[in-house]
Amino acid sequence: MSQKRRRVAQVRRLVWEHDADALIAFKFPVEALDRARQLRWIQLTSAGAEQLLPARARLDKVVVTNTRGIHVDLMADYALATMVMLNMHFPRFFADQQARRWEQRLSVPLAGRTLGVIGAGAIGSEIVRRGAAFGMHVLAVKRTPGPVEGAAEVVGTDALHDVLGRSDFVVLVVPQTPETRGMIAEAALRAMKPTAYLINIARGNVVDEPALVHALRTQWIAGAALDVFEEEPLPADSPLWALPNALLTPHVAGEPADYARRVADVFVDNLTRLRRGQPFRNVVDFERGY
């Protein structure tokens, strides 16, 4: 039996045989919903709830909460760290080190450069704040525009290509929804400056991967830092591995070393709220998809 089938079987036993009221899980198999007679709360251990979107019609009596917010500090660290590394040519310096090659590559400071943050939720807002602290001119794209601390401008998604064309660094922090799938495809990549860098800490399918490979090879853009991919683990034959202007990491930007404790804190808080009849924290809005 595959690992996925074992997980589905375990969840079924929990919600069917024991008539569970609440469940904490990384991914909830939607097949188990039909006979989950008592289930009224699912606590996801991730921020994303995309796996439940196809079953949202069957969740009308179930509250779903996620762990939104526990990734903020580490993901902001990642965004700024990779921005510095790309700006200072570290991917090429790493290759130079392996080749024992001495070649100076000069940089300009981040201060005064333009940062475009696509998705100004909790994580994006922290990246905006930190970018501003670096002295950068920060543009934020938000589904519903409103004030964001540190942002010189906050615009709606209809202005995405304008922001892409003005930014030296673009950080993707949008949730995975039908609207964001393929958001960064050929037209978006062509809208970027040839000197600009793309950093994706959102979801792999937000970016059209073949288009990005072509953009990096032909230098439509200067480089990219990618923590998420359409297929994970990234296949060994993916052309991304061999690109000298790409910095790749194995989906670790949102995985703090104390992840389990942070998840437990959210779960215990929500369990306390349930017992006291108080509103849950981090309720998923299925109309928005997150």
What is the 3-state composition of the chain as percent helix, strand, coil, each rounded to the nearest 5?
Answer: 40, 15, 45
CA distance 91 to 44: 35
What tokens appear for 215 in the block? Answer: 């953009």
CA distance 70 to 266: 9
Closest CA to 68 of 85, 93, 48, 43: 48
Residue type, 84: V
User: How many CA atoms, within 13 angstroms, populate the side-chain half-sphere of residue 99?
Assistant: 9
Catalogue the active-site residues.
203, 232, 251
Q: Are 45 and 24 spatial neighbours (Cβ–Cβ below 8 Å)?
A: yes
